[in-house]
């Protein structure tokens, strides 16, 4: 090859090289920051498990699923899974939902005898044409798919229930005091969100519901749009606290829609809180707690609650930390 031919060849390759460099730059820009967030400071261990899974395969759905399984299996966590406080009849029933970046959803409600309700919810999403299965049907579905039937009522939860029976008036609203006690101990529903390095978002939510509830009661946690919502173009949100009030405002969907119109995650969470206060009034809202956490497509995060003491656990490349939520009161 003479000099002229060599120069011509290099000149012809230059645009290709420039295009390759531009493509590489675009791909690097698309590599966003990964983050895992969950409701309550007590769920840092769950975040760690989710983070490990995220590093392993960069799958946000696997991450949130593995994360919520941690408190589900923890008998000391009396608001989720095994060891959860029972209903007024002494029966532990669980609720859970899961949602991925493609809009696939699955949920179980009022399921008994299965520790990992989130795993059953994922099977509903992946193995059935349905999005929700409830009660005995959910249990039947779980058993048919290899889950083991177990007693979820621990001795600790049984004693707490028996103590409650001494003064119980069988009014579901009397359980607000129990919820506040639970909140003060940083124990309540786990809602978890994760975004991976290619900006795909997933979420999961799991709970044993309101302590000493009426049998069959279902709150916000397994309801897509209330306890959890993911829109991969915008972001995601999840909720905790008194489920009836989250359902009232379609809470998590409200948060995501606020982000759609340009609000930051924290601002969006506040907008949802303000909507409930407008509907129910300050006097009522000062007596209950709901909190939201959210993240957007950029990986920005935020939270907000009705009353103080709500926290958000965070895990990212900088390590684990807890964010104290702002509150409207």
* DSSP single-letter state for residue 46: H
- Which domain covers residue 59, as residue numbers? 32-324
User: Would you say residue 16 lies in a domain?
Assistant: no
Instruction: Report the DSSP pairing between strands 201-207 and 190-195.
Output: antiparallel
261 to 218, 265, 296: CA distances (angstroms):
31, 11, 12
- Report which of 128, 139, 84 is spatially closest to residue 104, judged by C-alpha positions: 128
**Number of structural domains found in the chain:** 1
Distance CA 248, CA 148 (A): 35
Residue 146 sits in a domain of what CATH number? 3.60.20.30
User: Would you say residue 102 lies in a domain?
Assistant: yes
Hey, what are 318's tokens? 């900088």
Give the predicted TM-score (pTM) of the model: 0.88
Residue 21 has pLDDT above 60, yes or no: no
User: Would you say residue 73 lies in a domain?
Assistant: yes
pLDDT, tens only, 208-244 = 999 999 999 999 999 999 999 999 999 999 999 999 9
User: Would you say residue 2 lies in a domain?
Assistant: no
User: Would you say residue 217 lies in a domain?
Assistant: yes
Q: Would you say 271 and 254 are in contact if contact means Cβ atoms under 8 Å apart?
A: yes
pLDDT category of residue 184 using cuts at 50, 70 and 90: low
Q: Would you say 68 and 48 are in contact if contact means Cβ atoms under 8 Å apart?
A: no
pLDDT, tens only, 46-104 = 999 999 999 999 999 999 999 999 999 999 999 999 999 999 999 999 999 999 999 99
Residue 192 has pLDDT above 80, yes or no: yes
User: Would you say residue 9 lies in a domain?
Assistant: no
pLDDT category of residue 134 using cuts at 50, 70 and 90: very high
Round the average pLDDT of the chain to a whole number and report it.
90
User: Would you say residue 146 lies in a domain?
Assistant: yes
Q: Annotated catalytic sites, by residue?
A: 189
Distance CA 316, CA 32 (A): 12
């Amino acid at each position: 090859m003479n000099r002229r031919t060599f120069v011509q060849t290099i000149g012809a390759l230059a645009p290709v090289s420039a295009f390759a460099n531009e493509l590489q730059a675009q791909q690097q820009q698309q590599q966003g920051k990964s983050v895992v967030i969950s409701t309550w400071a007590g769920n840092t261990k769950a975040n760690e498990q989710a983070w490990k899974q995220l590093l392993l395969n960069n799958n946000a759905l696997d991450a949130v699923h593995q994360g919520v399984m941690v408190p589900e299996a923890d008998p000391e966590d009396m608001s989720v899974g095994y060891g959860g406080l029972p209903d007024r009849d002494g029966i532990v029933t669980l609720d859970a939902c899961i949602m991925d970046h493609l809009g696939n959803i699955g949920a179980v409600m009022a399921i008994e005898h299965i520790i990992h309700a989130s795993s059953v919810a994922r099977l509903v999403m992946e193995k059935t044409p349905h999005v929700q299965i409830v009660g005995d049907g959910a249990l039947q579905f779980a058993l048919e798919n290899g889950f083991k039937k177990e007693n979820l009522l621990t001795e600790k939860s049984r004693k707490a229930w028996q103590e409650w029976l001494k003064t119980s008036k069988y009014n579901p609203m009397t359980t607000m005091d129990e919820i506040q006690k639970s909140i003060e101990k940083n124990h309540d529903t786990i809602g978890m969100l994760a975004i991976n390095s290619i900006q795909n978002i997933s979420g999961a939510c799991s709970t044993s519901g309101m302590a000493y509830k009426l049998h069959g009661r279902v709150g916000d946690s397994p309801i897509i749009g209330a306890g959890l919502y993911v829109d991969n173009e915008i972001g995601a949100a999840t909720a905790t606290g008194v489920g009836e009030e989250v359902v009232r405002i379609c809470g998590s969907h409200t948060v995501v829609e606020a982000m759609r119109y340009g609000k930051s995650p924290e601002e969006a969470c506040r907008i949802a809180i303000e909507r409930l206060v407008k509907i129910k009034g300050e006097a009522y809202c000062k007596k209950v707690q709901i909190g939201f956490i959210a993240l957007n497509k950029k990986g920005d995060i935020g939270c907000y609650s009705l009353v103080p003491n709500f926290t958000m656990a965070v895990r990212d490349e900088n390590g684990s930390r807890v964010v104290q939520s702002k509150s409207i009161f």
